[in-house]
Amino acid sequence: MLFNITLARTLVASRIAQLPLVAPVLHRLPSLGYHYYSSAAATTTTTMSLPAAIAPDTPTVPGQGPPKIHLYTQGTPNGYKASLCLEEMRIAYPDKAKDQLSYDIFVLDFGKNEQKLPAFLKINPNGRIPAIVDDNAGGQRVFETASILLWIAEQYDTDYKLSFKDAGERADMVSWIFFAHGGIGPMQGQAGYFLNQKYKDAFAIRRYVVEVERLFSVLEDGLQPSAPGGGSYLVGNKYSLADLNAWTWVSSYGRMGIDMAAYPQLAKWVERVREREGTKRGLKVPRQRVEVTPEQAAEKQKEVKAYIAEADKLVASL
């Protein structure tokens, strides 16, 4: 497998070499110049034309060295998990920011199905973002958000600034990470999917939004001052990867029509984490996240409530 990843890296290496050392550098996945299988249109093949490197639109972090970590991403809740983590770590470890934690970015164009290109499938066989290739570790690939966060912590968080040394706290952190990875992300993802369809399926919307609300109430309980986390964060009274991992999804509650008045501790936590420098920087990579306005969120709440009521009626009539 390492050989294949090396091969995939070699395909992109010439492009990286041509790019200026600004931080982080944005790239496009290079053209492979041959036909690839498209899962979106399973019976067709498409030829990619050579994409140009995109100019950086992120602030230049002083002292960035040649990129050692290559991030394959997009501006989505999962993509932002990886960039928040890298930016938090770069702030926590300024020396490593100049070396091991220098990174560049490949923005995969979903419209062109670049996430399913063979070169990328060598990096993430699931054909989804984010994924990283870590040249500090011989070109090791890491895919799945939770696994990327844990890899970065294990390799670089030597002073436990975003993680924990204590076995119990570490277990708590990993538990919250998997709670969000297996629950929050997929359920919010599905809620968003059904809310964004032209055909609105009230039952599906109810199913996923109500489940997201249930998961939010679990986080609300976990953020009570009497909970083991201490009230401000999920674990050990400090911001950690447990918070980071859940935040990019939870903070997009406005798009799901969720009324945060029901989750006061969680609402405060969302704002607390939003104020972090690492969050602000991470939300710019690969491009500034667009936030919904309070008016749009209120509109979405009304819309979602109506679908849930419609589904309730439908179920009651069966």
Ligand X SMILES: N[C@@H](CCC(=O)N[C@@H](CS)C(=O)NCC(=O)O)C(=O)O
Q: Supply the minimum distance, in Å, between the C-beta of residue 149 and ligand X.
A: 10
Q: Of 93 and 143, which CB lies nearer to ligand X in the complex structure?
A: 143
Residues 95-114 that bind ligand X (CB under 6 A): 110
Between CA 302 and CA 191 the distance in angstroms is 15
Q: Of 78 and 240, which CB lies nearer to ligand X in the complex structure?
A: 78
**Contact (Cβ atoms closer than 8 angstroms) between residue 254 and residue 300:** yes
Q: Supply the minimum distance, in Å, between the C-beta of residue 82 and ligand X.
A: 8
Residues 41-80 that bind ligand X (CB under 6 A): 76-78
Q: Of 5 and 19, which CB lies nearer to ligand X in the complex structure?
A: 5
Which among 48-56, 122-130, 247-255, 261-269 is the span making contact with ligand X, rule CB under 6 A? 122-130
Structure tokens at 77: 């809740």
Q: Which of 128, 206, 238, 276 binds ligand X (CB under 6 A)?
A: 128
Between CA 186 and CA 198 the distance in angstroms is 20
- Name the residue among 255, 251, 248 with its Cα closest to residue 282: 248
Amino acid at 104: D
Q: Of 89 and 308, which CB lies nearer to ligand X in the complex structure?
A: 89
**Contact (Cβ atoms closer than 8 angstroms) between residue 134 and residue 69:** yes
Q: Would you count residue 278 as binding ligand X (CB under 6 A)?
A: no
Q: Supply the minimum distance, in Å, between the C-beta of residue 246 and ligand X.
A: 12
**Contact (Cβ atoms closer than 8 angstroms) between residue 187 and residue 216:** no
Q: Would you count residue 286 as binding ligand X (CB under 6 A)?
A: no
Between CA 261 and CA 307 the distance in angstroms is 20
Q: Would you count residue 251 as binding ligand X (CB under 6 A)?
A: no
Q: Which of 58, 64, 100, 145 binds ligand X (CB under 6 A)?
A: 145
Q: Any alpha helices (H) in 53-180, and if so which ranges? A: 77-92, 94-97, 118-121, 145-156, 167-179
Between CA 285 and CA 294 the distance in angstroms is 24
Q: Supply the minimum distance, in Å, between the C-beta of residue 27 and ligand X.
A: 17
Q: Would you count residue 279 as binding ligand X (CB under 6 A)?
A: no
CA 87 to centroid of chain Cα atoms: 13
Rounded to a whole number, what is the largest CA-CA distance in the chain?
64
Q: 69-73 and 131-134 as β-strands: parallel, antiparallel, unpaired?
A: antiparallel
**Contact (Cβ atoms closer than 8 angstroms) between residue 132 and residue 104:** no
Q: Supply the minimum distance, in Å, between the C-beta of residue 147 and ligand X.
A: 8
Q: Supply the minimum distance, in Å, between the C-beta of residue 78 and ligand X.
A: 4
Q: Supply the minimum distance, in Å, between the C-beta of residue 313 and ligand X.
A: 32
Q: Supply the minimum distance, in Å, between the C-beta of residue 148 and ligand X.
A: 7
Q: 25-28 and 103-107 as β-strands: parallel, antiparallel, unpaired?
A: parallel
Structure tokens at 63: 């002292």
Q: Supply the minimum distance, in Å, between the C-beta of residue 142 and ligand X.
A: 10
Residues 160-219 that bind ligand X (CB under 6 A): 181, 185
- Enumerate the β-bridge partners of residue 132: 71, 142
The backbone torsions φ and ψ at residue 105, rounded to the nearest 5 degrees and listed phi first, read -130, 135
Q: Would you count residue 127 as binding ligand X (CB under 6 A)?
A: yes
Q: Which of 5, 121, 136, 144 binds ligand X (CB under 6 A)?
A: 144
For ligand X, which residue has the nearest CB? 128
Q: Would you count residue 115 as binding ligand X (CB under 6 A)?
A: yes
Size of the site for ligand X (CB under 6 A): 12
Judged by the rule CB under 6 A, the positions of this chain that interact with ligand X are 76-78, 110, 115, 127-129, 144-145, 181, 185
